[in-house]
Amino acid sequence: MAADRALLVDGEPVSEGDLTYLALANYGAYTSFRVEHGGVRGLDLHLARLEASAQELFGEAAGEDRLRDLMRGAVAGRGDCWLRVSLFSPEVWPRTPDWTGRPKVMIGVFPPPLPLAEDGLRLQAQTYVREAAHLKHTANFGLIRARRLARAAGFDDALFADGTGRISEGSLWNIGFVRGGEVVWPEAPMLTGVTLTLLQRGLEVRGVPSRVQAVRLEDLSGFDGAFVCNSATPACPVASIDDQVFDPGAVPLETLKAIWASQPCQPI
């Protein structure tokens, strides 16, 4: 591996046995984020996500102190980087799904990724709902396929909606809509991202109106703008969804970016 990359399981270099399991099974969950000067924006939310996922998928928490120790070991001696913290167990297979216990922790260390985009994204709406959408799980077939189909059709990415047209999330991000200075977040089964939560809190502090409500594809013409957000891309305007064009200038981009920048980097 390159010097700026590492893959560790429970603090040790990944073994052939673990790699074999990870190559053949995708039962697990993860979270990912940028480390800046030894701290992480929204670290408490990422840790809570991992602990809830461990309880739901494996029946036992991973342990916050253990997670912090492993993350500190992974970033020791490094500058800013990107961590992917994954939970899995080589005891769990399709024929033997019953194991319960504390999951293993795999940490991937990588250079910080570029934002998804700087300019407006052109999104293709697709009928798709992620399985166990509230989890950031490792079963990524559906979302990768959705992105491939969108790009093959000339779009930048895919926006998910259910069979009734109710919008939920995108392939790797959450979406917000803007109408008359108010931010509207979709209400639907989806992963509530850490960045979404931090932006919601920041909008409330700044007195910017924000609400959660059902948004359907048929409602898109009633919005002035839209934007996507995730840990690598705090805010990026949407240029269009299918044939519906939005005004990137309607998105309070500087406010959203300022909210993100104002979030403290919590020490690992």
Identify the CATH number of the domain in which residue 101 sits: 3.30.470.10
Q: What is the CATH number of the domain that holds 170?
A: 3.20.10.10
- Does one domain contain both 99 and 141? no
- pLDDT digits 0-9 by tens, 106-150: 999 999 998 888 789 999 999 999 999 999 999 999 999 999 999
Cα angle at 103 between 195 and 264, to 5 degrees?
25
Average pLDDT value for the chain: 96
Q: Which residues contact 87 (CB under 8 A, 6 or more apart)?
A: 28, 29, 30, 50, 53, 54, 57, 58, 62, 103, 104, 105, 106
- Does one domain contain both 97 and 153? no
Between strands 121-127 and 233-241, the pairing is: parallel
- Does one domain contain both 132 and 234? yes
Cα angle at 222 between 217 and 227, to 5 degrees?
70
- Does one domain contain both 129 and 76? no
- What predicted TM-score, i.e. pTM, was given to this entire model? 0.95
As a whole number of Å, the end-to-end CA separation of the chain is 24
- Where a domain ends, among 110, 130, 165? 110
- pLDDT digits 0-9 by tens, 162-171: 999 999 999 9
Domain that holds residue 177: 121-267
- Does one domain contain both 139 and 242? yes
> Over 80: is that where the pLDDT of 1 sits?
no
| Structural domain includes residue 147 | yes
- Where a domain ends, among 110, 137, 164? 110
